[in-house]
C-alpha cells in the first residue's frame, strides 16, 4: 500500500479537458487551454491550472538554481505595490504612465502595481548599504508583474499580469559591474541551453530602462513582435531597431529618392523621412528596391518620440493642422537616411522646398514654416540608417557574412544601468581616499517566466500537440497501461524506471496515467499534453514483457525490454 501511495498518478491531478474542440489552425496558446494548462480569466489575465503550475515551478527552479549557484545571488520578494513618488524621483513615471495600473489609498497617496522593480530595489539598497565593503551585491526575485497592455494578445506572450525573474546587481565601480554583466550573460546562456532552446542573444537598445549596454534573448518564431538580425559567418546578432547593413552610398537619379510621411500625436509636426528607393551592396552587387513599407519605424520614433505610428496617411491630418487655429505651432521635420545625397539634404536644410518636401495637395508652402533636418553630411551630423535590414543583406562587421532577418519573441533582457537609478535615488557608498560617496554601479536582468512558457508552447508545438523540453515538462515520462494491464503491472514499471535511472530526481519526473479512460484516449491526451516520453503497456507487455516506448519529438516508436528501459529513457532525456 505504501508503494501505491508514493507513485505519482494523473487520477489525482485536476486536468480539465473535453468540450473544447481543436481549431483548424490551432496555435500553442489554444493547445495550452485545450490540454488543461490554463484558462483565461480576464483580458490578458490567466489562471494557471495544475499542469501549468508544474511547468512554471520547473522553470522557476531551473532559473533560481543558476541565479544562486552560478551568481551567488540571494532571493528576495519585493512588494507588488510601489509608490508613484519613487517613480517621479527616478524620472520614469510619465514615460510609462499609460501602461501602469494606478490607484490611491484612503489617504489619497498614489500607488501603482509594479511592472518592474528598479525604483524599489534601489531605494531598499540605498537605505541598507553604506560601504563599498558591502559590495558586490546580487539580489533576485521571481514574482508577478503588472502592465496595462493596450492590446493583450497571443495568450501568455503579451499579458497584463505575468511572472518574471528579476536580478539586480550592485557593484562599486564600472569595471566590476561589467564583469558581473558578462557572468550573468553566461548564466543566461546556460539556462536556455538546459532547456534546449535555440535562443539568440542580440545587442539591443536600452530604451526607457536606461544605461548604455543591453542584450535581448530571443526565441525565433513567426509570432514574435521583434525582428532579430544575425550573420551566418560571425557573431553579429542584433535587434532590428539598431541594426545596420553594408550598402553603397552612390545615388544618382532623383527618381531614386523616396519620402515617407508621418505625423506627431499632437498633429503639429509633419515628418518627412527621406530614403533611397534603390541600393546595392559594395561593388554594385545585389540591388535592393525599397518602398515606404521598408521604413524602420523604431529608428524614426527614436528621433520623434511623439510619432503617431497608428496613422496611415498623415497628409489630411497635417492639412487640417496648418489651416486651423494652431498653424503657428506647425513645423516640418525632415529626416534623411545616410545614403541620401548631401546636395539634396542641403536643399532641404536651406529651405528650398520642392514638391517632395511640401505635398502639392497642400498648395503653396508657408514661407515662415520652421524646417528641421536630421542627418546629412555636415560635421557633427549623425549618419542614419532608416531602412529595415533584409535577409540576404551583407553583414556590416565581416566581409563574407550574409544576414538573416527573422521574427522572434523576447524571453529575457540584460541591462548595464550604471548610475541611472542609484544617482537620483541616493544609492551611494563610501570608498577609500574619497571625501564624498560614489553612486553604485547597477545592472538589471530579467527573464519572462510566463512568457517563456507561452513561447516554448508556440515554438515546439506541432499538429498533434505540445512538445515540452524535458527540463520543464509537467512530467518527463508518462506510463500508460493498456486495458489488460492491472495496476500492479504499471507500478512495477514505474518503480523500475525510478529506481534504475541514473538521472537525478529533479529531472526524472514519472507519472502513471491511471485514469478511467480507454488506451486510445490516453495516448491522444498524452500527445496533446506533450509528455516527452511515453511508455505503453500494450499487447507486447503480456506476450513478452516488452513495453512500447514513444518519443514524438525524436520520431521514436519501438519495443524495449524491461532491463533496457531505464537506460533508453536516460539516453532520450539527454537529447530532450
Q: pLDDT value at position 252?
A: 46
Shared-domain flag, residues 205 and 311: no
**Residue 20's CATH number:** 3.40.50.800
Residue 39 belongs to a domain: no
Q: Are residues 164 and 280 in the same domain?
A: no
Same domain, 340 and 287: yes
Give the residue, 286 or 345, on which the prediction is more confident.
345
Which of 27, 57, 28, 52 shows the shortest CA–CA distance to 39? 52
Same domain assignment for residues 112 and 231: yes
Per DSSP, 393 falls in state P
Average pLDDT in the 323-350 region? 74
My answer on whether 353 and 234 are in the same domain is no
With respect to residue 84, please indicate whether it lies within any of the assigned structural domains.
yes
**Is residue 18 in a domain?**
yes
Residues 231 and 96 in one domain: yes
417 and 508 assigned to the same domain: no
Residue 504 is assigned to a structural domain of this protein: yes
Question: What pTM, to 2 d.p., does this model score?
Answer: 0.87
In a domain, 50, yes or no: no
Q: What's the rounded mean pLDDT across residues 338-349?
A: 76
- The tens digit of pLDDT for each residue in 148-185 reads 998 898 899 999 999 999 999 999 999 999 999 999 99
5 pLDDT band, cuts 50/70/90, is: very low
Neighbouring C-beta atoms of residue 447, cutoff 10 Å: 26
102/109 Cα distance (integer angstroms)? 11
pLDDT in tens, 76-115: 999 999 999 999 999 999 888 889 999 999 999 999 999 9
Co-location of 11 and 110 in the same domain: no
User: What's the CATH number where 160 sits?
Assistant: 3.30.930.10
Tally the domains of the chain: 3
Contacts of 542 (CB under 8 A, 6+ apart): 484, 485
pLDDT of residue 2: 37
Q: Are residues 123 and 90 in the same domain?
A: yes
Q: Is residue 211 part of a domain?
A: yes
Domain limit, last residue, from 457, 489, 518: 457
List Cβ neighbours of 202 (8 Å cut-off, separation of 6 or more).
Answer: 215, 216, 217, 218, 228, 229, 230, 237, 238, 239
Over residues 204-228, the mean pLDDT reads: 84
Q: Are residues 18 and 76 in the same domain?
A: no
Q: Does 96 map to a domain?
A: yes
SS (H, E, C) 82-147: EEHHHHHHHCCHHHHHHHCEEEECCCCCEEEECCCCHHHHHHHHHHHCCEHHHCCEEEEEEEEEEC
Q: Could you tell me if 324 and 367 lie in one domain? A: yes
Same domain membership, residue 475 and residue 442:
no
Where do the DSSP E strands lie in 147-256? 161-171, 200-203, 213-220, 226-231, 237-239
The answer as to whether 468 is a domain residue is yes
Of 491, 555, 550, nearest to 524 (Cα)? 550
**Domain span at residue 348?**
254-374
Amino acid at each position: 500500500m505504501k508503494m501505491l501511495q508514493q507513485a505519482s498518478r494523473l487520477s489525482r491531478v485536476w486536468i480539465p479537458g473535453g468540450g473544447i474542440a481543436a481549431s483548424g489552425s490551432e496555435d500553442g496558446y489554444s493547445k495550452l487551454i485545450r490540454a488543461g494548462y490554463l484558462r483565461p480569466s480576464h483580458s490578458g489575465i490567466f489562471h494557471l491550472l495544475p499542469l501549468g503550475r508544474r511547468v512554471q515551478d520547473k522553470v522557476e527552479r531551473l532559473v533560481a538554481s543558476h541565479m544562486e549557484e552560478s551568481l551567488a545571488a540571494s532571493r528576495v520578494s519585493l512588494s507588488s505595490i510601489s509608490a508613484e513618488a519613487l517613480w517621479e524621483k527616478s524620472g520614469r513615471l510619465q514615460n510609462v504612465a499609460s501602461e501602469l495600473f494606478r490607484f490611491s489609498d484612503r489617504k489619497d497617496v498614489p500607488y501603482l502595481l509594479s511592472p518592474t522593480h528598479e525604483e524599489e530595489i534601489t531605494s531598499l539598497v540605498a537605505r541598507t548599504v553604506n560601504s563599498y565593503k558591502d559590495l558586490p551585491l546580487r539580489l533576485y526575485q521571481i514574482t508577478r508583474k503588472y502592465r496595462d497592455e493596450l492590446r493583450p494578445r497571443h495568450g501568455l506572450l503579451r499579458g497584463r499580469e505575468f511572472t518574471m525573474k528579476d536580478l539586480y546587481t550592485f557593484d562599486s565601480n564600472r569595471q566590476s559591474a561589467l564583469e558581473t554583466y558578462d557572468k550573468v550573460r553566461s548564466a543566461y546562456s546556460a539556462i536556455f541551453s538546459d532547456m534546449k532552446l535555440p535562443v539568440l542573444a542580440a545587442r539591443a537598445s536600452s530604451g526607457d530602462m536606461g544605461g548604455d549596454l543591453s542584450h535581448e534573448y530571443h526565441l525565433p518564431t513567426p509570432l514574435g513582435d521583434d525582428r532579430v538580425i544575425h550573420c551566418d559567418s560571425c557573431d553579429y546578432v542584433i535587434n532590428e531597431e539598431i541594426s545596420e547593413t553594408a550598402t553603397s552610398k552612390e545615388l544618382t537619379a532623383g527618381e531614386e529618392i523616396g519620402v515617407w510621411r508621418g505625423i506627431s500625436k499632437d498633429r503639429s509636426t509633419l515628418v518627412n523621412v527621406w530614403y533611397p528607393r534603390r541600393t546595392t551592396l559594395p561593388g554594385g552587387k545585389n540591388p535592393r528596391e525599397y518602398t515606404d513599407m521598408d521604413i524602420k519605424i523604431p529608428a524614426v520614433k527614436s528621433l520623434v518620440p511623439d510619432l503617431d505610428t497608428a496613422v496611415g496617411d498623415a497628409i489630411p491630418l497635417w492639412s487640417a493642422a496648418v489651416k486651423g487655429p494652431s498653424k503657428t505651432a506647425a513645423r516640418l521635420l525632415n529626416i534623411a537616411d545616410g545614403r541620401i545625397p548631401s546636395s539634396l539634404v542641403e536643399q532641404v536644410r536651406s529651405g528650398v522646398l520642392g514638391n517632395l518636401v511640401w505635398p502639392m495637395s497642400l498648395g503653396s508652402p508657408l514661407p515662415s514654416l520652421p524646417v528641421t533636418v536630421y542627418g546629412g553630411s555636415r560635421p557633427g551630423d549623425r549618419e542614419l540608417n532608416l531602412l529595415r535590414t533584409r535577409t540576404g543583406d551583407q553583414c556590416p562587421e565581416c566581409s563574407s557574412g550574409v544576414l538573416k532577418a527573422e521574427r522572434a519573441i523576447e524571453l529575457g533582457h540584460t541591462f548595464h544601468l550604471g548610475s541611472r537609478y542609484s544617482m537620483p535615488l541616493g544609492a551611494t557608498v563610501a570608498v577609500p581616499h574619497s571625501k564624498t560617496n560614489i553612486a553604485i554601479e547597477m545592472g538589471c536582468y530579467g527573464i519572462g517566466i510566463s512568457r517563456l512558457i507561452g513561447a516554448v508552447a508556440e515554438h515546439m508545438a506541432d499538429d498533434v500537440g505540445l512538445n515540452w523540453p524535458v527540463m520543464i515538462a509537467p512530467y518527463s515520462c508518462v506510463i500508460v497501461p493498456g486495458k489488460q494491464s492491472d495496476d500492479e503491472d504499471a507500478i512495477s514499471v514505474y518503480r523500475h524506471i525510478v529506481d534504475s535511472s541514473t538521472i537525478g530526481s529533479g529531472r526524472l519526473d514519472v507519472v502513471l496515467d491511471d485514469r478511467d479512460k480507454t488506451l486510445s484516449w490516453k495516448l491522444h491526451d498524452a500527445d496533446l499534453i506533450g509528455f516527452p516520453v511515453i511508455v505503453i503497456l500494450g499487447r507486447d507487455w503480456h506476450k513478452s514483457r516488452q513495453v512500447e516506448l514513444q518519443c514524438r519529438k525524436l520520431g521514436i516508436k519501438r519495443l524495449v525490454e524491461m532491463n533496457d528501459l531505464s537506460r533508453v529513457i536516460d539516453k532520450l532525456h539527454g537529447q530532450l
